[in-house]
Amino acid sequence: MTVRTIRVEGAAPYDVVIGAGVLGELPRLLGPGVRTVAVVHDAGVTQVARPLEAALEKAGYRVHALAVPTGEAAKEVHVLAGLWSSFAEFGMTRSDAVVGVGGGATTDLAGFAAATWLRGVRAVLVPTTLLGMVDAAVGGKTGINIPEGKNLVGAFHPPGGVLCDVTTLMTMPREDYVSGLAEIIKAGFIADPAILDLVEDDPEGAATPSGPHTLELIERAVRVKAEVVSADLKEAGLREILNYGHTLAHAIEKAEDYRFRHGHAVAIGMVYAAELAALAGRLSADVVARHRSVLAATGLPVAYGAEAWPALRATMTIDKKSRGSTLRFVVLDGLAKPGRLEGPAEELLEAAYKRIAR
């Protein structure tokens, strides 16, 4: 069995363990002194959560299983409040831990619950989706949604460890798996073009968990994120590059009432950012074209409705990357050469959107 361990450095270092059948690493990542474990799991992944809970009980932990709604419905204030109440009911102390099992929404919620309970308890995350493995579970960002926007309420709370068991990906619906692939492709554009080569070499294989390069694609994407967040946990500068494509993506998600797949929105957002950079004279036409070709080859969308622009533009104003009234975009000055575009003219913003409108 191939197991890859990636160390995320910083004030609170932790391991990301990637491989098949790695859930047995959980007690090690929980660390010494933990007695009570709250297993916060997506109600749709009981086939992963139950054996994990049984193993923890056998290892001597007091285990409390807490099921939460599937997907973005988990990241609601009332769900979070329910977790807090449950923690209080079973006397969870500062030396205990939360284990989050599920997709990115579940690990975001579980991480935020851990960050805010008694001002911070240990969290170990077990992502069961591709998006969760390569994006949400790594980096210490936690949060919930409110009607005004996605992830506007949250905290930086590095986990005690992350377990990426690739066998959990095998039952993912294809569209959900491909959605996660968008974040891997993003890592290729901002830092590791070898990812793009692997996807282009076999786009059909990249779009399925049984593909020949699955483990390498996951490892490469996690390494990109690990290197960035090791240097900049709290998005003071460098970490912003991980938001490539996300300014428009978050606006699309809000317009769709969070029923639009995150990776699909990011794919569209990356094409938009590429067009914006090209219009600003910073990116060549061939790199813009490569955005469209590599994303479309895996089945990801590269366009959005023409009539949506006014609402999307209004939503982008409150994007977390904005500073005051200045809108900021992560753009590319070439492959693996990310930069920032601050306060672009309205005409430029609209012209770029017209290029992705359908």
183 is catalytic: yes
- Give me the residues paired with residue 65 across strands: 39
Q: Which of 25, 183, 219, 253 is an active site residue? A: 183
Q: Residues 116-126: what's their mean pLDDT?
A: 97
- Superfamily of the domain at 244-354: Dehydroquinate synthase-like - alpha domain (1.20.1090.10)
Question: Which residues lie below 8 Å from residue 317, measured CB to CB, with a gap of 6+?
Answer: 325, 327
Position 1 scores a pLDDT of 57
- pLDDT tens for each residue of 75-91: 999 999 999 999 999 99
- pLDDT tens for each residue of 225-244: 999 988 877 676 788 999 99
Buried b (16+ CB within 10 A) or exposed e, 244-274: bbbbbbbbbbbbeebebbbbbbbbbbbbbbb
119 is catalytic: yes
262 is catalytic: yes
Tell me whether strands 149-156 and 161-165 are parallel, antiparallel or unpaired: unpaired
Buried b (16+ CB within 10 A) or exposed e, 111-128: bbbbbbbeeebbbbbbbb
CB 40 within 8 A of CB 117: no
CB 111 within 8 A of CB 100: yes
Residue 10 confidence (pLDDT) above 90: no
Considering the four listed CATH numbers 3.50.50.60, 3.40.50.1970, 3.40.50.10490, 1.10.540.10, the one that applies to the domain covering 3-169 is 3.40.50.1970
243 is catalytic: yes
Half-sphere exposure of residue 308: CA atoms within 13 angstroms, side-chain side: 18
What is the percentage of the chain residues whose pLDDT exceeds 70? 97
Q: Do domains 3-169 and 244-354 have the same CATH topology?
A: no
Specify the DSSP class assigned to residue 261: -
Q: Residues 319-342: what's their mean pLDDT?
A: 84
CB 358 within 8 A of CB 303: yes
239 is catalytic: yes
How far is the C-alpha of 67 from the C-alpha of 148, rounded, in Å?
26
Q: Which of 58, 78, 89, 119 is an active site residue? A: 119
Specify the DSSP class assigned to residue 138: S
Confidence category of residue 40, pLDDT binned at 50, 70, 90: very high
- pLDDT tens for each residue of 161-203: 999 999 999 999 999 999 999 999 999 999 999 999 999 999 9
Position 299 scores a pLDDT of 97
Task: Specify binding-site residues.
Answer: 104-108, 128-129, 141, 150, 168-171, 183, 246, 262
3 state SS of 202: coil
Q: Which of 41, 243, 275, 291 is an active site residue? A: 243
- pLDDT tens for each residue of 250-296: 999 989 988 899 999 999 999 999 999 999 999 999 999 999 999 99
Q: Which of 225, 261, 264, 321 is an active site residue? A: 225
What is the percentage of the chain residues whose pLDDT exceeds 90? 84
Q: Where are the domains of the chain?
A: 3-169, 244-354
Confidence category of residue 322, pLDDT binned at 50, 70, 90: low
How far is the C-alpha of 321 from the C-alpha of 163, rounded, in Å?
29
216 is catalytic: no
41 is catalytic: no
